[in-house]
Amino acid sequence: MLSYSTLPISFWGYALQTAIYILNDVPSKSVPKTPHELWTGRKPSLQHLRIFGCPAHVLKGKTEKMESRSETCIFVGYPKETKGYYFYSPSDLKVFVSTNAKFLEKDYMNDFVPKSRIVLNEMSGDTIPREVTQPNPIVSSDPTQDQQPTIPRRSGRVRTQPERYIGLGESVENLPDDDDPYTYKEAMEDVGSRHWQKAMQYEIESIFDNKVWSLVDLPKGIKPIGCKWVYKRKRGMDGKVETFKARLVAKGYTQKEGIDYEETFSPVAMPKSIRILLSIAASLDLEIWIKGEKLVFLILYVDDILLIGNDVGILTSVKEWLAKQFDMKDLGEASFILGIQVIRDGKNRTIALSQASYIDKILSRFSMQDSKNGMLPFRHGIKLSKEQVPKNEHEEQFMSRVPYASAVGSLMYAMLCTRSDICFAVGIVSRFQSKPGPDHWTAVKHIFKYLKRTRDNMLVYSGGDLISVGYTDSDSRKSTSGAVFTIGGGAVIWRSIKQSCIADSTMEAEYVAACEAAKEAVWLRQFLIDLEVVPSANKQITIYCDNSGAVANSKEPRSHKRGKHIERKYHLLREIVQRGDVT
Question: What does the chain come to in residues?
Answer: 583
Q: What is the pLDDT of residue 306?
A: 64
Q: What is the pLDDT of residue 255?
A: 80
Domain topology for 465-579: Nucleotidyltransferase; domain 5 (3.30.420)
* pLDDT at residue 158 is higher than 70: no
Q: How many CB atoms lie within 10 A of CB 243?
A: 14
- Which residue type occupies 551? V
Q: What is the pLDDT of residue 331?
A: 62
Q: What is the pLDDT of residue 171?
A: 37
Q: Would you place residue 179 in the very low, low, confident or very high pLDDT band (cuts 50, 70, 90)?
A: low
* pLDDT at residue 442 is higher than 80: yes
Q: Would you place residue 440 in the very low, low, confident or very high pLDDT band (cuts 50, 70, 90)?
A: very high
Residue 179 neighbours by CB under 8 Å, 6+ apart: 83, 233
Q: Angle at Cα 165 formed by Cα 162 and Cα 169, nearest 5°?
A: 125
Q: What is the pLDDT of residue 278?
A: 77
Residue 522 neighbours by CB under 8 Å, 6+ apart: 576, 581, 582
Q: What is the pLDDT of residue 238?
A: 64
Question: What's the average model confidence in pLDDT over 328-345?
Answer: 73
> Smallest Cα–Cα separation from 212: which of 266, 164, 250?
250
* pLDDT at residue 164 is higher than 50: no
Using one digit for the tens of pLDDT, what is the confidence trace for 262-301?
777 666 667 787 787 777 777 666 533 333 334 455 555 5
Q: What is the pLDDT of residue 269?
A: 67
Look at strands 350-354 and 227-235 and give their pairing: unpaired
Q: What is the pLDDT of residue 162?
A: 40
CA distance 247 to 204: 9
Lowest mean pLDDT, pick from 13-17, 201-205, 294-298, 407-411: 294-298
User: Phi and psi at residue 545, in whole multiples of 5°?
Assistant: -130, 135
Q: What is the pLDDT of residue 89?
A: 87
The separation between the first and the last C-alpha atoms of the chain, rounded to the nearest angstrom, is: 67
Contacts 24+ apart (CB under 8 A), 128-135: 128/153
Q: What is the pLDDT of residue 289?
A: 32
SS3 of residue 428 by DSSP: helix
Kindly report, as residue ranges, where domains of CATH 3.30.420.10 are found in the chain.
465-579
Q: Would you place residue 210 in the very low, low, confident or very high pLDDT band (cuts 50, 70, 90)?
A: confident
Question: What's the average model confidence in pLDDT over 418-438?
Answer: 90
Q: What is the pLDDT of residue 140?
A: 43
* pLDDT at residue 83 is higher than 70: yes
Using one digit for the tens of pLDDT, what is the confidence trace for 526-557?
888 877 777 777 788 888 888 787 787 777 76
Q: What is the pLDDT of residue 136?
A: 46
Using one digit for the tens of pLDDT, what is the confidence trace for 464-485?
677 778 888 877 656 788 888 8
* pLDDT at residue 154 is higher than 60: no
Q: What is the pLDDT of residue 170?
A: 40
SS3 of residue 464 by DSSP: coil
State what percent of residues in the chain have pLDDT above 90. 11
Q: What is the pLDDT of residue 135?
A: 45
* pLDDT at residue 142 is higher than 60: no
Strand order in the sheet with 101-103: 94-98, 85-89, 70-77, 55-59, 101-103
Q: What is the pLDDT of residue 230?
A: 92
Question: What's the average model confidence in pLDDT over 70-96?
Answer: 86
Question: What's the average model confidence in pLDDT over 439-458?
Answer: 92
More confident residue, 180 or 111: 180
Burial annotation 384-399 (CB, 10 A radius, 16+ → b, else e): beeebbbeeeeeeebb
Look at strands 336-337 and 340-345 and give their pairing: antiparallel
Using one digit for the tens of pLDDT, what is the confidence trace for 366-411?
888 888 888 899 888 888 888 888 888 888 888 888 899 999 999 9
CA distance 227 to 231: 13
Mean pLDDT for the chain overall = 76
Most confident range (mean pLDDT) of 135-149, 245-259, 449-463 is 449-463
